Amino acid sequence: MCTPNQRCDSSPLTFETMLTDPMIRLMMDSDGVSVAEITGLLHQARAAVAQRAPMQFALAR
């Protein structure tokens, strides 16, 4: 038996597996969002995060 904080299946949690989940697909269909739209948004978000400069800070001594 799985607890709420455990994954009960052995598949890795990736965007690809998430987009094949029946509940996710039902929500996407209900919202009128296609896999292509979500995939494009995720690629844009990944590029935006990759362009950020690493945060630099000094620890107080």
Check residue 25 and give its pLDDT: 93
The predicted pLDDT at position 34 comes to: 93
Q: Give the pLDDT of residue 37.
A: 92
Contact 14, 46 (CB under 8 A): no
Question: What's the pLDDT score for residue 17?
Answer: 86
pLDDT along the chain (61 residues), means of 10: 60 81 93 91 86 65 55
pTM of the predicted model as reported, rounded to 2 decimal places: 0.55
Q: Residues of 20-39 as b/e, b for ≥16 C-beta within 10 angstroms?
A: eeeeeeeebeeeeeeeeeee
